[in-house]
């Protein structure tokens, strides 16, 4: 089952000819999650053939325009297209105030149920959890309250070795328990260990989204060991003081977090419009953390299943 990130936008405060503001789609087992929704997100969804109807959950990190100004248009289009399925929206309380104001002034009553989940800038709060995954908050440090998101798969039941099940004549009614880790005891009291009857279904996969933020040394502890980390990299390191003044990070700082956290892969984005050529930024980050890639629009980052 897929675990795949698609980049829709990776520019910082202002769009450029080739880069839209921040927006990403995360596909976990064919469930689609939109993370941030800058201007032009609708067009990018169309461009990369992602159906609006597939998106059931939308996460907004903070209320700077380059991270949410595409949201109202997307919600309106879902309404105009006759959507019936509910949409879950996660963000600061003021986000819902803005939406309610726009709906009231346009005299619009959405055809679908918009369920709002207020998010506060604390770390470790689980804001979505079901049998497949959990999403928890990551506290970031920006000019206004800003929250990152940690997506983690739940462990899947172990896979049965059918040849072993047949070899020991194990009745079907015991299959579910064995998939969940139970041993099997036959009619003679013999214990067949679970490890002989099953194999792992794969290690749970994870993705952390961290934008926008000052460099935070302790952030490494919150994203430790994730398969894929997105960390903002607004500036190259020669503009460190500019990054600090605007509560952003540099490529070196993003790579340092990734290295300290021992993540598998790093994706950097939220690039300042001043950079026409991003190759030097990538090269700089790779001096610290080689497994680094640029969040270029249309790029897909796949996390494969591993035992």
Q: Please compute the mean of the pLDDT values over residues 36-59 and round it to a whole number.
A: 98
pLDDT of residue 196 exceeding 90: no
Third-level CATH fold of 3-156+202-302: Metallo-beta-lactamase; Chain A (3.60.15)
181 pLDDT tier (thresholds 50, 70, 90): confident
Q: Please compute the mean of the pLDDT values over residues 86-93 and round it to a whole number.
A: 98
Answer yes or no: 66 catalytic: yes
Rg (CA), the chain: 22
For the chain, the residue count is 307
Q: At 51, which helix (H) or strand (E)?
A: none
pLDDT of residue 200 exceeding 80: no
**pLDDT by residue (tens digit) across 239-276?**
999 999 999 999 999 999 999 999 999 999 999 999 99
Q: Please compute the mean of the pLDDT values over residues 182-190 and round it to a whole number.
A: 81
Q: What is the DSSP letter of 48?
A: T
Could you give the percent of the chain with pLDDT greater than 70?
A: 99
pLDDT of residue 21: 98
How much is the mean pLDDT over the chain?
95
Q: Please compute the mean of the pLDDT values over residues 85-103 and round it to a whole number.
A: 98
Q: Please compute the mean of the pLDDT values over residues 215-239 and round it to a whole number.
A: 98
307 pLDDT tier (thresholds 50, 70, 90): low
Catalytic residue, candidates 36, 66, 212, 227: 66
CB 150 within 8 A of CB 208: yes
**pLDDT by residue (tens digit) across 128-179?**
999 999 999 999 999 999 999 999 999 887 788 899 788 878 888 888 898 8
DSSP output for 158-186:
PEE-HHHHHHTT--GGGHHHHHTT--EE-
The structural domains of the chain, with segments of one domain joined by +, span 3-156+202-302, 159-198
Q: Listing from the earlier edge strand, what are the strands of the sheet with 31-37?
A: 114-118, 87-91, 55-59, 31-37, 23-28, 3-9, 300-302
pLDDT of residue 43: 97
pLDDT of residue 229: 99
pLDDT of residue 168: 78
Q: Please compute the mean of the pLDDT values over residues 176-195 and round it to a whole number.
A: 84
Answer whether the bond into residue 287 is a cis peptide, omega within 30°: no
């Amino acid at each position: 089952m897929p675990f795949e990130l698609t980049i829709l936008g990776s520019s910082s405060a202002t769009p450029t000819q080739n880069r839209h503001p921040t927006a990403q789609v995360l596909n976990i087992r064919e469930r689609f999650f939109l993370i941030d929704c800058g201007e032009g997100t609708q067009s990018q969804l169309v461009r990369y053939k992602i159906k609006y109807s597939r998106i059931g959950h939308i996460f907004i990190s903070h209320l700077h325009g380059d991270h949410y100004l595409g949201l109202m248009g997307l919600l309106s289009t879902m309404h105009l297209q006759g959507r019936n399925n509910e949409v879950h929206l996660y963000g600061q309380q003021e986000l819902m105030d803005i939406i309610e104001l726009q709906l009231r002034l346009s005299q619009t009553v959405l055809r679908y149920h918009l369920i709002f989940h207020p998010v506060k800038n604390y770390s470790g709060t689980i804001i979505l959890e079901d049998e497949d995954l959990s999403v928890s908050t990551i506290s970031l440090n920006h000019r206004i309250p800003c929250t990152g998101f940690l997506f983690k798969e739940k462990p899947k039941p172990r896979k049965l070795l059918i040849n072993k099940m047949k070899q020991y004549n194990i009745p079907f009614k015991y299959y579910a328990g064995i998939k969940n880790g139970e041993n099997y005891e036959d009619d003679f009291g013999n214990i067949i260990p679970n490890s002989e009857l099953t194999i792992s279904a794969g290690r749970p996969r994870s993705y952390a989204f961290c934008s926008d933020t000052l460099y935070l040394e302790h952030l490494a502890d919150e994203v430790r060991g994730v398969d894929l980390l997105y960390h903002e990299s607004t500036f190259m390191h020669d503009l460190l003081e500019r990054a600090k003044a605007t509560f952003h990070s540099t490529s070196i700082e993003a790579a340092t977090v990734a290295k300290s956290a021992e993540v598998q892969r790093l994706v950097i984005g939220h690039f300042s419009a001043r950079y026409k050529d991003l190759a030097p930024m990538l090269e700089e980050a790779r001096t610290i953390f080689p497994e680094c890639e640029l969040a270029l629009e249309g790029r897909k980052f796949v996390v494969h299943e591993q035992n």
